[in-house]
Structures are given as structure tokens and as C-alpha cells.
Amino acid sequence: MSNVVSTLTPVSDTWTFFEGDWHAGNVAIMGPRTQGSWLGSTVFDGARAYDGLIPDLDRHMARINLSAKRFRLKPLVSDETWMGLARDGVRKFAPGTPLYIRPMYWAEGGVGGGVKFDPESTRWCLSIYEAPVPGARDIAITLSPFRRPTLETAPVDAKAGCLYPNNGRALFEAGDRGFDNCLMCDMLGNVAELANSNVFMVKDGVVLTPAPNGTFLAGITRQRTLQLLRDAGETVLETSLRYADFLDADEIFSSGNYAKISAITRIDQRSLQPGPIFRKAAELYREFAAGSRL
């Protein structure tokens, strides 16, 4: 292995493939002159491994390359190579360890040292680390004052690192008011997503979720959940939704790769119970994931 220095920041068990080899720990891959570290030219993706399962790994590895293309970085690694490296890295951990699988691209240099990054300087790594899947828990949400950008104002068609500080400040603001998460709207006031996941609601037996409108990523777990529910005979509509619709919902639940499918148990001061559609969606996803053995 090459002598790559790790940081001193405590992290969970981690393996990172960088510059042709696997390295243990939180590898130092960027310097103060790296364009991606100070001007945000990074894209990433996140897949999951748990209980020997790797659901939709192929979709996540395809999306990292799509994000790179849309961001104008060079997608240097084929989908198949990403897949092989991910499987190899997962095997470095004890069987069944819950893991987060994160491929990344970033620009090392800028044109003239400035804001415009140099696509030819694209670098990449694959980091895999222990990350327990959150279990059932109470989740209280509210409305965020912060909004999702449009394609004219930010690279919302890619899973770009520069998008996430806005979501982070939304989570901080909601936390200051005693909430765990928050609904973020687009510039027209339509609900787009939660600060870190996609969102569904149920009213009178109909499942509703915000229609993709170019302000948020319609996540891979979201797409899978939509298809599973529709295949099971549920009516699922992608449509414009306002915050008032969620205040009046019979059920609210989220979908995302990190926590998969989670019930929302409070919106503002109104309590909710995990409902039958949420339980059905969670069970359908478990059945689907069981077919994705490592």
C-alpha cells in the first residue's frame, strides 16, 4: 500500500480505494490547493450494504457517473469497475456489517487557479465505512424557511456536494426549534423534499409525493418505493403539494438510501402514527432488498 496519511479525526471503521489501492481510515485525499476542497467541485453517491444485501448498487454506481457528466467532471470509472470495487471493499468488513458506500469525483485544479475548475484534473475515490441503519424512532418535522434552488441557480441535476450546506442549515434551524427534520419548498412554495430525504404522504388511501420539478433529486430509493407500491396495487400520484397538504395528511413517511423508509411521527404539534401504507412500503422494500445478496 502507498503511504497515504490519514487524518486524526475519529471515524467509524473505514476503507478507501484511492490511487490504485485500498487504505484504512479517513484518508487525506485533498489539500488546501485542491479546487474541490475550497470551491466545491465535487459529486458523490451513496449506496448501502447491510445484512449481506446491496440493494440497487448498480443504480447508485450509474448515477455517480451521470452526476459527473452533468457537473462537467470526467467520469473516469466505468459502472462495472465501481461495482467490482464496491463488492471488494464490502468484503473487507465482517459479514453483515452495515456500511455506507460512497464513490466520489472532484476537480484537483482550476483553470488559471480560479473558480472555473479543470475537468482534466478530475480525481476519484471510493470510501466504504461502517454506518448503522437507523431503526424505528420518533421523527418530528416542521416547515423550513430555506428553499431548494433551481437549475438556473445551482447544479440540482447532479448529486453535488455544494448543494448540501443549504440542507444542513435547514436541519440546524429546525433543530433549534426542537424538530428532527424539515420540509423544504421550491421557489414557488411547493414542497420538494425533507432536508435529507424524499417524502411521501397518504390521504384517504392515496399515496402522494412531490413531482420531480428540477429542484430536488428524485432518489433511487424513492423510485424503488414508488414502483413497489404501484406494483402492489396502491394508487401513487406524483403531484404538486403544499405544506397544508402535509398538515392534513393521514400518514407521512420518508425514503432515502441512508435510513431507507422511515415513518414521520409528528408534524409541528400534530402527532401521527406509523400507518398501514408506511408499513406496507417498508415490508415491500425489505422483500425487494432480500433479493440483492452480495
| Domain range summary for the chain, segments of one domain joined by + | 14-130, 140-289
Per CATH, the number for 14-130 is 3.30.470.10
The larger pLDDT score, comparing residue 2 to residue 147, is at: 147
204: left (phi over 0), alpha (psi -120 to 50) or beta: left
> What integer pLDDT is reported at residue 9 of this predicted model?
58
**Residue 147 pairs with which residues in a beta bridge?**
185
Single-letter code of the amino acid located at 125 = C
Q: How far is CA 129 from CA 11, 44, 83, 93, 96, in A?
A: 9, 15, 16, 9, 13
Asked if residue 147 lies in contact with residue 185, where contact means CB atoms within 8 angstroms, the answer is yes
- DSSP secondary structure code for residue 118 in this structure: -
Torsional sign, CA 216, 87, 41, 74: negative
Q: What is the mean pLDDT of residues 275-280?
A: 98
Q: What is the mean pLDDT of residues 26-34?
A: 93
Q: Average pLDDT over the chain, rounded to whole?
A: 95
Percent of the chain residues topping a pLDDT of 90 = 94
pLDDT at 60 over 90: yes
pLDDT at 37 over 50: yes
- Residue 92, Cβ density class (10 Å: 0-12 exposed, 13-18 middle, ≥19 buried): middle
Q: How confident is the model at residue 1 (pLDDT cuts 50, 70, 90)?
A: very low
Q: How confident is the model at residue 249 (pLDDT cuts 50, 70, 90)?
A: very high
The pTM score is: 0.93
Asked if residue 94 lies in contact with residue 106, where contact means CB atoms within 8 angstroms, the answer is no
**Residue 123 pairs with which residues in a beta bridge?**
106
Q: Do domains 14-130 and 140-289 have the same CATH topology?
A: no
Q: Give the ranges where the chain is alpha helix by DSSP (H).
A: 35-39, 57-71, 79-90, 164-176, 220-231, 243-247, 276-289
Q: What is the mean pLDDT of residues 233-249?
A: 98
- What does residue 62 show for φ and ψ, rounded to 5 degrees? -70, -35
pLDDT, one tens digit per residue, over 142-154 is 999 999 999 999 9
Q: How confident is the model at residue 3 (pLDDT cuts 50, 70, 90)?
A: very low
pLDDT at 6 over 70: no
**Strand 191-194 to 198-203 pairing:** unpaired
26: nearest Cα among 122, 128, 165: 128
CATH 1.10.10.10 for domain 140-289, yes or no, is: no
The larger pLDDT score, comparing residue 13 to residue 293, is at: 13
Helix (H) or strand (E) holding 130: strand 122-130
Percent of the chain residues topping a pLDDT of 70 = 97
pLDDT, one tens digit per residue, over 208-226 is 999 999 999 999 999 999 9
